[in-house]
A and B are shown apart, each in its own frame.
Chain A
Amino acid sequence: MSLDRREAVRRLLADRGNMLVVSGLGSPTYDVAAAGDDDRNFYLWGAMGSAAPIGLGLAIAQPERRVLVITGDGELLMGLGGLASIAAQRPTNLVIVVLDNERYGETGMQKSHTAHGTDLAAVAQGCGFSRAATVHDESELDRTIRDIRAGEGPMLVAIKVTAGEAGRVLPSRDGVEIKNRFRRAIGV
């Protein structure tokens, strides 16, 4: 069982309140852009493995806001040690959502480690996250979404999504502009 990634991200970001979003390179960046461009989105187009650590620095700097990292299984796997660094800091406002298609989608759908049995929620749990879960279907997403918005972090939710191209929705690639508009939007 698996979910449609675009629909899942659209639901996560509907009524997002003051949530800050960091998206991992490739498809997760397109999914977040497809849900509606927002100045409080920081889109990655590279620096593979950096999405979760960016979430950590941001969550520490902005403890009153929810920080949501939306990334891919491949992107997270490249910086897996970052989960241990996050757990060590216990940022209660940080949530990592992995859109887990068990593939390196952007580069031709090669199987990733999650297709070979790596359980990202178990890894997060083992690192010491407050909460970690895997979501396989709509009803599990329904039950998890409130936690994602308001539950105590650090939290990792792996959403199993269908391995298929969703079409590219391209946000700005101008890193300076994305950075500056984000800072302006939150008043820093």
Chain B
Amino acid sequence: MDSPPTVDWRREIHPILRAANVRQVAYVPDAGHIRLIEACHADPSMRAIVLTNEAEGMGVLAGAWLGGQKGVMLMQSSGVGNCINALSLMQICRFPFLALVTMRGEWGEFNGWQVPMGQNTEAALKGAGVIVQRCDHPEDVAPTIDAALALAFDSEVAVAVLLSQRLIGRKKF
């Protein structure tokens, strides 16, 4: 059975990032992150940083940490493929890293061009040394992101939380 529709997970993420004192949010837009991107732009305690390519995000967040700030990365699954070599920076220097990845190409996908990367997102991240956690149900989102923030910044490791396409809902064309 699907979870109760009372949990609006899209509105829960920003307050959790804020409570964790996340100061920089680097992103390439995805429709699944619309609300979160807007909330980060509207929050004077955060800097929302639009990127031309997801690979820039590893650099930006490494720089943020060098300067004493926490940052997170927002992207869709196809962007993971753009990050692989840049993720070596996180691994070799043990920069804390958290990416929130909206999934495409896995659940009722209409656009087959999303499938090759969507089907390889988890393997690609793991191959690049990133710990992968997954949310399939609305009530999972808040606790998973809260725990992932602690894992990334307290244990100084790279973590990705995949927000599944089933959770987000099929894209309607």
Give per-residue flags for B37-63: 1 if the beta carbon is below 8 A from chain A beta carbons, else 0. Answer: 000000000010111110111111111
Residue B88, interface by CB 8 Å: yes
Contacts of B115 in A (CB 8 A): none
Q: A61 and B23 in contact (CB under 8 A), knowing A50-B86, A89-B47, A188-B67?
A: yes
User: Which residue of A46, A51, A89, A186 contacts B68 across the interface (Cβ within 8 Å)?
Assistant: A186
Give, as a whole number of angstroms, the nearest-CB distance from A25 to chain B. 11
Interface of A is mostly: helix
B66 interface contact, C-beta 8 A: yes
B89 at the interface (CB under 8 A from A): yes
Determine the distance from Cα of A27 to Cα of B52 in the docked complex, in whole angstroms: 27
Chain B contact patch, size range? 20 to 34
CA distance A183 to B70 in the complex (A): 13
Contact status of A57 and B52, CB under 8 A, knowing A175-B92, A176-B93: no
Give the distance in Å from the alpha carbon of A188 to the alpha carbon of B71 in the complex. Answer: 15
How many residues of A sit at the interface, in one of the four size bands?
35 or more
| Contact with B93, one of A48, A49, A82, A178 (Cβ below 8 angstroms) | A178
Given A88-B50, A175-B93, A57–B64 Cβ distance below 8 Å?
yes
B170 CB–A CB distance under 8 Å:
no
Using Cβ atoms and an 8 Å threshold, which residues of chain A touch B50? 85, 88
Task: Please name 16 pairs of A and B residues whose Cβ atoms are closer than 8 Å in the assembled complex, sorted by A.
Answer: A47-B88, A47-B89, A49-B55, A56-B49, A57-B62, A57-B67, A58-B63, A61-B63, A61-B66, A61-B69, A79-B53, A79-B55, A88-B49, A175-B93, A178-B93, A179-B95
Residues of A within 8 A of B (CB): 20, 22, 42, 44, 46-62, 79, 81-82, 84-85, 88-89, 175-176, 178-179, 182-183, 186, 188
Given contacts A50-B55, A57-B59, 7 further A-B contacts (CB under 8 A): A47-B58, A49-B59, A50-B58, A54-B66, A58-B66, A81-B53, A179-B65
Interface residues of B (CB under 8 A from A): 23-24, 26, 47, 49-53, 55-69, 71, 85-86, 88-89, 92-95
